[in-house]
Amino acid sequence: MGAAESVPETSIHEFTVKDCNGKEVSLETYKGKVLLVVNVASKCGFTETNYTQLTELYQKYRDKGLFFA
């Protein structure tokens, strides 16, 4: 067996993602904030329930700094 390949550590803040409108957003924007990243498939069957629960979670914790991306 060979030595494992070394992978440099990467911060989530180094990534850029697309928002729901297709606009590129740097996660650096959210540095220092509480951030929950949610990845859903729009046709998986759970999406509507997930959005309802996420909305409730956001309403409960937004004053404490919770933000969704």
Kindly tell me if the per-residue pLDDT of 6 is higher than 80.
Answer: no
What amino acid positions are annotated as catalytic residues? 44
More reliable by pLDDT, 59 or 4? 59
- Residue 15 in domain: no
Domain with 63, as residue range(s), is: 32-69
Residue 63 lies in a domain: yes
**Is the residue at 39 inside a domain?**
yes
Question: Per-residue pLDDT tens for 15-68?
Answer: 998 887 899 999 999 888 877 777 777 777 777 788 888 899 989 998 988 877
Query: Cα separation of 69 and 27, whole Å?
Result: 8
- Which helix (H) or strand (E) is 34 found in, with range? strand 34-36
**Would residue 12 count as lying in a domain?**
no
- Tell whether 67 is covered by a domain: yes
* Distance from C-alpha of 30 to C-alpha of 42, rounded to nearest angstrom: 24
Domain assignment present for residue 4? The answer is no
